[in-house]
């Protein structure tokens, strides 16, 4: 059945504010990303929020295939979204950029929940996976946020999402017990970007496409889902179309039809996606040490075509155009 019959407008909006990242985690296929790196324009955020104001939005996520806190306008976007829509807000971060000052902003800006991805219970394990980051700095960032939340008596949920080996989850829980919420996640294949989970030969409908979720890339293009990290399956462009126009458009209809018929000839990422062909048992493989080769990024960490990060530029002191950052 066409989802338009029950969902005339997306109920959840996932907005990628940047696809830049200050890390090169081996579990994330950043070396396979070929699309341009940039930051969403505030005008585009306002456009999306304006169209959504008359609708019922149950969740608004600000994060995509990148580190959202690199965007100096992150808190401004959250304030605008919360003020205009009043819906629950969510983001995912690696936590390494959270200074005491930024922590206070995050607590006050209208962010309801933040999930911080964490692989490892010690420096060696963490830094072998989250390459480019340091264990001490990330722990400090998380601690800054916890302190700011307590000082403000905020109800914001801070969730540390452990994505390591299952048998090491209990020590991780004990490390953070009483400080923050803790969860466990298995690794996924990113639509073919990685091969952590074995696929079943037959599967059901995609739980992402089957739900009324809109995935917007930083440049305004609408992708099929968050696993499409390189923007290969584009359904529309909000620089030239409305949300409703894309949601009711022919491309979305074809994608929904493929989910119903199982014919994914037009949708290569869906064809072998572990969210649709879910394995019966999902376990995290070992990805540290020799089993985690360092990926070669297609775009060097120190060079970005769009310099809009200000003092949060992921290149840091190595930035080739520090004066050009705004």
DSSP state letters, 39-86? B--HHHHHHHHHHHTTS--SEEEE--SS-GGGSTTHHHHHHHHHHHH-
How far is the C-alpha of 229 from the C-alpha of 258, rounded, in Å? 20
Residue 27: the pLDDT is: 82
Alpha carbon distance 63, 265 (integer Å): 29
Residue 30: other Cβ atoms inside 10 A:
21
3-state secondary structure of 182: strand
What DSSP state is assigned to residue 217? -
Smallest CA-to-CA distance from 78 within 122, 101, 47, 109 is with: 109
Cα(187)–Cα(207) distance, integer angstroms: 16
Edge-to-edge strand order for the sheet containing 12-15? 181-184, 157-162, 113-118, 89-93, 59-62, 12-15, 213-216, 221-223, 234-237
pTM: 0.83
Closest CA to 13 of 39, 41, 44: 44
**For residues 295 and 196, what is the distance between their CA atoms, to the nearest angstrom?**
16
288 Cα distance to chain centroid? 22
Q: For position 194, what pLDDT does the model report?
A: 62
With beta carbons less than 8 A apart as the criterion, state whether 233 and 192 touch.
no
User: How far is the C-alpha of 278 from the C-alpha of 265, rounded, in Å?
Assistant: 19
- Strands 181-184 vs 157-162: parallel, antiparallel or unpaired: parallel
3-state secondary structure of 315: coil
8-state DSSP, 210: T
pLDDT tens for the chain, 326 residues long, are 444 445 899 999 999 999 999 999 888 888 888 999 999 999 999 999 999 999 999 999 999 999 999 999 999 999 999 999 999 999 999 999 999 999 999 999 999 999 999 888 899 989 988 999 999 999 999 999 999 999 999 999 999 988 877 788 899 999 999 999 998 877 766 666 566 566 665 666 676 677 899 999 999 999 998 889 899 999 999 999 999 999 999 999 999 888 888 888 888 888 777 666 554 444 444 444 333 344 444 443 433 444 445 555 554 444 444 333 43
Token readout for 106 is 């995050």
Q: Which residues pair with 213 in a beta bridge?
A: 12
């Amino acid at each position: 059945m066409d989802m338009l019959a029950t969902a005339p407008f997306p109920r959840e909006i996932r907005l990628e504010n940047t696809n830049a990242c200050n890390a090169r985690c081996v579990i994330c296929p950043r070396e396979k990303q070929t699309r341009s790196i940039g930051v969403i324009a505030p005008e585009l955020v306002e456009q999306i929020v304006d169209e959504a104001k008359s609708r019922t939005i149950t969740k608004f996520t600000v994060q995509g295939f990148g580190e959202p806190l690199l965007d100096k306008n992150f808190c401004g976007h959250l304030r605008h979204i919360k003020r205009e829509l009043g819906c629950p807000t969510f983001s995912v971060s690696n936590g390494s950029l959270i200074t005491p000052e930024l922590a206070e902003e995050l607590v006050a800006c209208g962010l309801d929940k933040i999930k911080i991805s964490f692989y490892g219970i010690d420096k060696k394990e963490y830094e072998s996976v989250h390459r480019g980051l340091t264990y001490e700095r990330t722990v400090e960032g998380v601690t800054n946020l916890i302190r700011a939340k307590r000082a403000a008596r905020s109800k914001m949920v801070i969730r540390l999402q452990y994505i390591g080996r299952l048998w090491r989850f209990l020590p991780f829980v004990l490390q953070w017990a009483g400080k923050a919420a803790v969860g466990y996640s298995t690794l996924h294949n990113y639509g073919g970007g990685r091969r952590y989970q074995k696929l079943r030969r037959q599967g059901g409908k995609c739980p992402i496409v089957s739900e009324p979720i809109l995935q917007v890339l930083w440049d305004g293009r609408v992708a099929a889902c968050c696993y499409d990290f390189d923007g290969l399956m584009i359904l529309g462009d909000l620089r030239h179309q409305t949300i409703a126009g894309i949601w009711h458009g022919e491309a979305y209809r074809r994608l929904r039809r493929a989910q119903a018929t199982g014919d994914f000839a037009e949708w290569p990422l869906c064809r072998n996606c572990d969210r649709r062909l879910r394995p019966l048992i999902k376990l995290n493989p070992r990805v540290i040490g020799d089993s985690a080769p360092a990926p070669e990024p297609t775009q060097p960490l120190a060079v970005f075509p769009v310099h809009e990060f200000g003092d949060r530029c992921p290149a840091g002191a190595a930035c080739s155009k520090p004066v050009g950052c705004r």
